[in-house]
Amino acid sequence: MITLGSIAPDFYAKTTMGDLQFHKWLGSSWGLLFSHPEDYTPVCTTELGVVANLRDEFEKRGVKAIALSVDSLESHIGWIEDIERSMNAKVNFPIIADEHAEVAQLYEMIHKDSSEKHTIRAVFVIGPEKDIKLMLTYPMAVGRNFDEILRVVDALQLSAKHPVVTPANWKQKEDVIIDPSISEKDAIEAFPKGHQKVIPYLRYTEQP
């Protein structure tokens, strides 16, 4: 069973950019693994086009994106032409051809009550230590918000570097919350610019 903090299962796969071993391909980068139900479908086309157009944003954060469906490599290659034409994008990340649903089963991407065959819209953000940092599940009819996924990556990377957590609706450059496990004495030392104590366990400070 995959849970937050567990190690992302490793696998070998055929992709539109050649065969790869997942952990080796990730290296020391962060990873975004996301599944789509089926090639040549409208919502999936928009999603892959958006991820392609966000290449610079993912690269800036050190995130490697990789998509998956249970369609064939030939299907993926043909579909990429439609994505690039309709979304004015260059698909610059691999798409896994998971015809036998081996990776989908590893990552529990097929929900029988939704579809016996097709993957739901699963999202996994994976840290440099290969641990699962985020899991999101969307139904087939709803396209994902990749701006939100970038926002969460920002928050995860910030918390990995500093003893802070992020409040609801937080965005880059907004105030953050000092981790409640940090004592008041340590907080004063760690955040010399000061902090605002709303209640004892809610202390805001500038984003480090």
Catalytic residues: 44
**97 Cβ contact partners less than 8 Å away, ≥ 6 residues apart:** 13, 14, 15, 16, 71, 72, 73, 75, 76
Q: Tell me the CA distances in angstroms from 21 to 13, 14, 93, 122, 176, one per residue in order.
A: 7, 9, 15, 20, 37
Dihedral sign, CA of 101, 80, 44, 63?
positive
For residue 99, give the DSSP letter: T
Q: What is the number of other CB atoms lying within 10 angstroms of the CB of residue 163?
A: 16
DSSP label at 201? T
